Chains A and B, each alone.
Chain A
Amino acid sequence: EAEVAQSPRYKITEKSQAVAFWCDPISGHATLYWYRQILGQGPELLVQFQDESVVDDSQLPKDRFSAERLKGVDSTLKIQPAELGDSAMYLCASSLMGGSSYEQYFGPGTRLTVT
């Protein structure tokens, strides 16, 4: 069964350092999402891609976060510099197309700890 792949699964970094997460969606899925899940809360959308284009990045802290999906397949989310408040689970999801009628499939996530 096809899955969304994410790496690394765990990352510990010191504040002010740069950190990057990688996501490989299910083959053929045009839409890719990055979510942040703070402990004890539900996931919150950071950015949505349709192919290589950003559809929604209204909740992405653009002063320190960046995301790209250059060839419309895999994606990288970067934080520079990392802050203590960035400690969270970062989840990647993909769907066949954008829109509510298409199910989002989630990867296992990257748990980030900033010290």
Chain B
Amino acid sequence: AQKVTQAQTEISVVEKEDVTLDCVYETRDTTYYLFWYKQPPSGELVFLIRRNSFDEQNEISGRYSWNFQKSTSSFNFTITASQVVDSAVYFCALSELVRAQKLVFGQGTRLTINP
């Protein structure tokens, strides 16, 4: 069965610090997608990134970067030079391509950036 674990329930850092959010997943499929979503206090989920299981290249988008390692079943998310606007709950999610196409989310990590 597919499962996503975000062991960090809450993280609090001071603005401009770098912060990494961990995500570990379980799946029996060899083909799957991994996602990160941001949920600000307003409630809607904002898509950040999608990565398929065949693409292990790390990705950088501005202050955001993602480290995908199949060997450890991890898909970690790093925010560099954090800002107060980054405060939100962040969710990692998994979707199996063949067995079940639905998104399975982790429990989320509440990130607070203090000024």
A91 to B105, CA, bound (A): 13
Given A45-B102, A106-B45, the answer on whether A100 and B96 have CB atoms closer than 8 Å is yes
A61: interface (CB < 8 Å): no
**Chain B residues numbered 56-115 whose CB sits less than 8 Å from any CB in chain A:** 91, 93, 95-97, 100-103, 105-108
Given A100-B97, A101-B33, A103-B50, the answer on whether A45 and B103 have CB atoms closer than 8 Å is yes
Q: Is the CB of B101 within 8 A of A42?
A: no
Segment at the interface with B among A16-24, A68-76, A77-85, A107-115:
A107-115
A103 to B48, CA, bound (A): 10
Q: Which of B37, B46, B47, B101 contacts A99 (CB 8 A)?
A: B101
Report B-chain residues with C-beta under 8 Å of the C-beta of A48.
102
Q: Is the CB of A107 within 8 A of B101?
A: no
Report A-chain residues with C-beta under 8 Å of the C-beta of B96.
100
Given A41-B108, A44-B105, the answer on whether A100 and B43 have CB atoms closer than 8 Å is no
Chain A proximity of B101: nearest CB distance (Å) = 5
A66: interface (CB < 8 Å): no
Q: List 12 A-B contacts (CB under 8 A).
A: A41-B107, A56-B100, A91-B45, A99-B97, A100-B32, A100-B52, A100-B95, A101-B52, A101-B97, A103-B50, A106-B46, A108-B43
